[in-house]
Structure 1
Amino acid sequence: MQCRSLFASLVVLMLLAPAREADACGPDFPPELLTDRAYTLAELPEGLFLHEVSRLVPKPADPFQVVDFGEPEGARTGGGARETALYTEGAKAWHAGDWPRARARFEDVLALPPEERRRFSTFAAYMLGRTPESGPESTARARFAEVRELVRQGFDDPLGLAVASLGEEARLLLEAGDDIGAIRLYAEQAAHGSWTGTSSLLFVARALSRDEARLREALKDPLAQRLMATFAWTRGQEWLWTEDGGLRPLLDALASVRGLAGADRLAAAAWRVGRFDLAERFAGQEPTPLDAWVRAKLALRRGDRLAAEQLLAEAARGMSETEDWQHDSERGARRPRTRAEGERALLLLMRGDFMGSAQKMMDSCSWPDIAYVAERVLTVDELKRFVHAQGPEADARCLPELGSPDDADTGHDASIIAIPFPTSNPVPAHGPNSLTGRLRLLLGRRLLRTGAGAEALEYFRGTSWEQPARQYVDARERARTADDAMDRAQALYDASLLARKAGMEILGTEAAPDWAQVDGMYDMSDYAGPYELPPEQDAVRKKMAELPLTSPEEQQRLTAHAPPHPLRYHYRSTAADLAEQAAALVPPRSQAYAALLCHAARFTAYSEPERSQRLWSTYVKNGALLAGEGMVFGQQCPEPDFERARAQQPKLSLPWKGLRRRTLAALGGGLLLPVALGAALLLRRKRPLTPPRG
């Protein structure tokens, strides 16, 4: 029974998932909105068929129990002695093909007093509906309706037979050629939450779309119109893949219906396959969030960005935050509201409203796009204001995309080098994996890259990267304030080790070039499109590409806010810079000099081979040959011996004796001169006056 249930589950999942061209195996990254901006503006996401058809009719106030897969334990036990015996005998006869005897026993169950048949009454009525009859008039539909009535009266339904009876009755209508009646029952079954009802509607929609006569007859009913418009919108990619005619015949049939129910879905389907004439014609007929979204796309196609912004805001306001169009629970959420907010953020970015764009990106819950705006577009001061304006509601809103905010950041070893420091700061309420936690770390790394070390430490508090960040700031501060050259060199070397070993976590860029958001394991620009669109819709992408998708001011900010080195793993180059600065402070003929240049070359051996060659040439020109150190330049490097280097510093030799004599002579001369002048003046004043000669 369990194997059959698993197989049934897989079949239904295969039926409900749109058929697509297979993607090559590789990392599964969340979608980005800013990488291929023309695609983002041109593409309208398809809805989820199983979700849309589950609300073709209103959800029942008191839904029946649904048992689509498997059988609850003990479902066939618990009845009274008489009802159990009668039903068991009827079931045995049914499986043996003894229809008269089976029917008689099931009817005997229903003839018992109500208090004696609470468990198996629904079983008996359901099996009577499934038992072949010999008379000209079938009572099967009435029996299935009886099942539902018994459940409403309070009889047990451990197998979910009331919901199943809707599907069984719908099947009878299909066999009788009543497509409209079957659609109504299947829609009711789906509204109770049954995947069986959902998959049945998919089968019906497929059959109708391939039979023009049946389709046009069914489209006389508004519920069938909505079903087929939904099918066209949510299954567009499947049709492009499997049918020679594509969606055109179905769209044309729907377009011929006056007062079409589901006009918003038809407009969305038409946009997705490039039938812009139909999209323009049916957009605005049914005011829904989806309709506003389609009209926003049409406004963009006409070049009216202001109208598009207003319509996207209308669409986002009308969408539920909980609605999700993702058919695969393993791949994260695909919520239409967050996508619409992301498109609003893109339009704000295009017109230079950077702070407004950042807030809308937060509403989009798309971390790659949030990181781009926060790290490369906002100034540091804007980013600080933005980070401090975020509250826990942002974390709660983005749980479907980012997971629990309490996920701990424990996958790394924070003990990089042994530089002790006190760690008594409290752990923040938000986890490092939350949206606000990620933003704080991004800001901390950005501040650390710009030299604002003390301020940066606030944003590392409570994470496993607080210690190496504090060690790095301490080392840079010691290098700045130390009086002794060897102490400065030691501090710079400590900082270089931290930059190399913990650089991704304390200095790395969240987006390009380091891609800290995926721990640097991938260069995500290699997976960033251009994304594939249907040929007709690709023309819209080209039209959207004519818009000024990146403003000059945004481009200027991208340049101004770039990391100090443009290379991937740029912090390795920073580590090499620090090691080179340390080498410049030690004697060129010392072991420390050779070791520091060796480490600088090792840090960038793969990212900057030309730098390694330059460092080697510098070492050969200025350094001393290290014997017995086991050094392989740029690969195996000994630890620099700063104490030996200190001993090799040239001692200052001052001519103290000569300096003393000259100093005393100068000092004595300087003191005697005023005395001599004073004495001469005094003698002159005492000399008698001599009368003038005539």
Structure 2
Amino acid sequence: MSPHDLRLARLTSLMTAVLVMPVSSLACGPDFPNRLLLDRHNTLLYMPEGNFAFETHRLLAVDPQLPLWKAPPPETAPKPMPQSPQERMIGQMRASKTIEEANAVDTQGLPEAARLYTLGAVAFAAEDPRATEYFQQVLDLPAAEQGDWRLRALYSLGRIEMDDRGTPENTYGSTAPAVQHPEKAQLDKAITTFQQVIDQVKSGAADPDQLALSSLGQQARIHLWQGEIAQAARLYAQQAAQGDSDGSLSLQYVSSYLINPEHLNALKQAIHDPLVQQLVTIELFARSSNLQMSDGTGESAKQSIERILTLLNESVESGFAGSDRLAALAYRSGQYPMAASLLKNAGDSGLAWWLRAKMALRDGNVEVATAAYAKAAAAFPTDEDWGQQRDDDYVPEVIMPDCRIAGEQAILALNRGDYLQAMELMYRGKDNYWADIADIAERVLTIDELKSFVDKHAPAVPLQPAKPGEYNYQQRQRSQLRELLARRMMRAGRYQEAVNYFDLPDSRQAAQEFIAQLKAAQDKAGSKEVRAKAYYQAAVLLREQGLEFTGYEMTPDYAIYGAGYSYLGDAFDTRDLQHKSWISAAEAARAAKSLPAVDDRFLHYRWQAVALAKKAADLLPAKSQAYAAVLCNAASWVIARDAKTGRALYQRYIKNGTQYDWSSRFGYDCPAPEF
């Protein structure tokens, strides 16, 4: 029987809810790179939000007697598969509108349990009360004949007993009339039926449809109807622990309900349960930025968080399992004394040490913070992922605590002048922090320091073509770093070394051609015409492909976005910072020295191309077409951004050159030079 035929047996246990989520307007353009170095003070003191789904999946331990959730395979183009005779029979029965139509289908060869269950499913869909009889008949068959249909029949009986027809219920914020649920005795009967499903799976019954996990959710749903929030939360938490995302989504509904100011009494009744305490804590720890409050109370999100924090702090006992999360919530809410108090009993979790590091930095104790960061880094698993978050400017960041902590450690390493260690730490952040890696590699390390780092961490290896759907961040990061070093070497005139570090064939070829043209131009044995042409060809290469073989990854060229943007922020510009920059004088001096000595501006290599073109003109007869065309083209490369240089080139042409038909369009419409 295909999974699509089991809609009756496998429905989500999530209590249908309308969760109000804020919609942020997207900024124009792509997502800009996340930057830890742009505002180091805030980076060090800010505590990222957690991830609700990640947190809820570890509220309870996995029950080894229950199955782990298996996600359905990803949808692909379906291949036509011939149906078995039994599948065709069931499909014909399920397409029926009434039991009578379903009974008329020829079911010779179909197991009796399958026939009875399918009749019950048709009756259930038609709201025919005979559905109960058919499901019960499945259970009355000899055990050897029931097969997988037994669990399906039990689960479906539970749905009938709780009157679950798959219809939406009134939800948070809804003005629809409340759904009328069965009496308590009938709901208790449904809980017992779902428990039979769970118990039989724990005893070894096969559960291909994962109905034991759905039964946990259905039981929790009934407890919610009866106002028993703590019991419901525990069942949903077990469902989530087994990997079922329905459990996590349902917990999100429960936690959203509890933090609503209109449900303060419900929160006060449930808050003494340790699991509810953890649930409310992680709701605010992971989703406080999404907090939406009812308009009727007049209470702001900040006021609500402070009130709930007070309730939690008064309710939890020493050693509370969520002390580190609660302390982080208190810290993010500005309740620093509460955070410090909670940290005393928060244990040695990675989050607790991360928070201790930030608290030490707030107190100005860098030495204590450095030690705490080291313990935090050692405590977090390298693959822990809190998902994507966005800051106030809507810049995205995938929070992987291990990588983020390494980035914050890098800031402290920079501040104490340990530049190579800072590079090693930031490099651990994968391509999530490529902009910061580039800033250190390009502006802080010397070329020789960077070369040593690249030789150790990004050695030359053949590029491997990516497989469909595969993203090799390690290969990309290694290649990006080698290209950055090669471009630095080109800017420093270390041409032959640079060629060996270009990973991309196009960049290497352009660099080699530029080097060859420059060599020919500087060869005093060549004729003036040959040298002039070589200077001009080198200038054209620099103008057209300079970004690829000599441009800055960050300030001032921003090759990181193909020079699509002229400014993405300078990590070493402290003029607008209103607090400590964490940039030492030595680091600032290195950063300043690495910028272009002249024409420090966006697309700086264009002005270098102009300088080469002027050298070409120096070697040409002033009255020749080539002289005029070289100056005209050189002006066209910068005139839109630098009218002064454009005018100077025009004045040189007017003073020395010959007038042509195109002279009136000088700098805008230029012919190719005729050498």
TM-score category, normalised to shorter length: 0.7 to 0.9
Answering whether residue 602 of structure 2 is matched by residue 562 of structure 1, we say: no
8 A contact 1:121–1:150 mirrored in 2: no
Secondary structure at the counterpart of residue 640 of structure 2? coil
Answering whether residue 412 of structure 2 is matched by residue 339 of structure 1, we say: no
- Give, in angstroms, the shift of residue 184 of structure 1: 0.9
Instruction: For 1:550-629, list aligned pairs within 5 A.
Output: 550-564=583-597, 565-626=599-660
Structure-2 change in CA distance of 1:302 and 1:249 (3 Å): same
Secondary structure at the counterpart of residue 482 of structure 1? coil
Residue 688 of structure 1 aligns with which residue?
none
Secondary structure at the counterpart of residue 405 of structure 2? helix
8 A contact 1:605–1:634 mirrored in 2: yes
CA distance in 1, matches of 2:43, 2:593: 26
CA distance in 2, matches of 1:605, 1:182: 70
CA distance in 2, matches of 1:51, 1:299: 27
Answering whether residue 272 of structure 2 is matched by residue 220 of structure 1, we say: yes
Structure-2 change in CA distance of 1:207 and 1:395 (3 Å): farther
Cα deviation 1:611-636 (Å, max 9, x = unaligned)? 0001111111122223x567731122
Structure-2 change in CA distance of 1:382 and 1:611 (3 Å): same
**Which has the greater radius of gyration?**
1
Cα deviation 1:290-325 (Å, max 9, x = unaligned)? 111111111110011121122122112211222211
Structure-2 change in CA distance of 1:393 and 1:631 (3 Å): closer
CA distance in 2, matches of 1:35, 1:105: 68
Secondary structure at the counterpart of residue 193 of structure 2? helix
CA distance in 2, matches of 1:403, 1:606: 41
Instruction: For 1:67-466, list aligned pairs within 5 A.
Output: 81-99=111-129, 101-132=130-161, 136=185, 138-210=188-260, 211-239=263-291, 244=300, 245-257=303-315, 258-259=317-318, 260-287=320-347, 288-326=349-387, 333-365=398-430, 366-391=433-458, 404-405=471-472, 431=475, 434-466=476-508
CA distance in 2, matches of 1:623, 1:234: 70
CA distance in 1, matches of 2:624, 2:143: 102
Structure 2: runs of 5 or more not aligned: 91-108, 162-181
Residue 56 of structure 1 aligns with which residue?
59
CA distance in 2, matches of 1:105, 1:461: 69
- Give, in angstroms, the shift of residue 523 of structure 1: 3.1
Q: 1:516 aligns with which of 559, 563, 581?
A: 559
- Give, in angstroms, the shift of residue 439 of structure 1: 0.6
TM-score by length of 1: 0.78
CA distance in 2, matches of 1:135, 1:634: 86
Structure-2 change in CA distance of 1:625 and 1:335 (3 Å): same
- Give, in angstroms, the shift of residue 577 of structure 1: 0.7
Larger RCO: Structure 1 or Structure 2 (Cα < 8 Å, ≥ 6 residues apart)? 2
- Give, in angstroms, the shift of residue 130 of structure 1: 1.6
Structure-2 change in CA distance of 1:394 and 1:479 (3 Å): closer
8 A contact 2:34–2:397 mirrored in 1: no
CA distance in 2, matches of 1:105, 1:437: 65
Structure 2 counterpart of 1:228, one-letter code: V
Structure-2 change in CA distance of 1:447 and 1:12 (3 Å): farther
Residue 496 of structure 1 aligns with which residue?
539
Residue 42 of structure 2 aligns with which residue?
39
Secondary structure at the counterpart of residue 44 of structure 1? coil
Secondary structure at the counterpart of residue 591 of structure 2? helix
- Give, in angstroms, the shift of residue 545 of structure 1: 5.6
8 A contact 1:209–1:250 mirrored in 2: yes
8 A contact 2:330–2:339 mirrored in 1: yes
CA distance in 2, matches of 1:363, 1:325: 17
- Give, in angstroms, the shift of residue 587 of structure 1: 2.3
CA distance in 1, matches of 2:505, 2:641: 29
Structure-2 change in CA distance of 1:528 and 1:451 (3 Å): closer
CA distance in 2, matches of 1:327, 1:14: 23
TM-score by length of 2: 0.80
8 A contact 2:20–2:292 mirrored in 1: no
- With 632-641 and 41-50 compared, the bigger mean Cα shift is at 632-641
CA distance in 2, matches of 1:285, 1:216: 24
8 A contact 1:395–1:405 mirrored in 2: no
How many pairs does the alignment contain?
594
Structure 1: runs of 5 or more not aligned: 407-429, 531-541, 643-694
- Give, in angstroms, the shift of residue 186 of structure 1: 0.2
8 A contact 1:599–1:637 mirrored in 2: yes
Secondary structure at the counterpart of residue 387 of structure 1? helix
CA distance in 2, matches of 1:249, 1:468: 63
CA distance in 2, matches of 1:468, 1:70: 43
CA distance in 2, matches of 1:446, 1:633: 34
Structure-2 change in CA distance of 1:53 and 1:16 (3 Å): farther
CA distance in 1, matches of 2:231, 2:282: 18
Structure-2 change in CA distance of 1:44 and 1:241 (3 Å): farther
CA distance in 2, matches of 1:15, 1:637: 63
CA distance in 1, matches of 2:185, 2:20: 42
Structure 2 counterpart of 1:41, one-letter code: L
8 A contact 2:151–2:197 mirrored in 1: yes
CA distance in 1, matches of 2:422, 2:672: 48
CA distance in 2, matches of 1:349, 1:529: 12
- Give, in angstroms, the shift of residue 371 of structure 1: 0.3
8 A contact 2:616–2:630 mirrored in 1: yes
8 A contact 1:631–1:638 mirrored in 2: no
- Give, in angstroms, the shift of residue 30 of structure 1: 3.0
Cα deviation 1:641-684 (Å, max 9, x = unaligned)? 33xxxxxxxxxxxxxxxxxxxxxxxxxxxxxxxxxxxxxxxxxx
- Give, in angstroms, the shift of residue 82 of structure 1: 0.8
8 A contact 1:594–1:623 mirrored in 2: yes
8 A contact 2:460–2:501 mirrored in 1: no
Structure-2 change in CA distance of 1:529 and 1:558 (3 Å): closer
8 A contact 1:109–1:121 mirrored in 2: yes
CA distance in 1, matches of 2:419, 2:547: 26
8 A contact 1:118–1:155 mirrored in 2: no
Secondary structure at the counterpart of residue 104 of structure 1? helix
CA distance in 1, matches of 2:194, 2:570: 53
Structure-2 change in CA distance of 1:14 and 1:576 (3 Å): farther
CA distance in 1, matches of 2:420, 2:582: 17
8 A contact 1:362–1:394 mirrored in 2: no
Structure 2 counterpart of 1:37, one-letter code: R
- Give, in angstroms, the shift of residue 200 of structure 1: 1.0
CA distance in 2, matches of 1:570, 1:280: 50
- Give, in angstroms, the shift of residue 332 of structure 1: 7.2
CA distance in 2, matches of 1:335, 1:112: 53
Over the aligned positions, Cα root-mean-square deviation in angstroms equals 3.6
- With 22-31 and 467-476 compared, the bigger mean Cα shift is at 22-31
- Give, in angstroms, the shift of residue 341 of structure 1: 0.8
Structure-2 change in CA distance of 1:378 and 1:240 (3 Å): farther
CA distance in 1, matches of 2:586, 2:228: 62
Structure 2 counterpart of 1:92, one-letter code: V
8 A contact 2:54–2:386 mirrored in 1: yes
Structure-2 change in CA distance of 1:14 and 1:221 (3 Å): closer
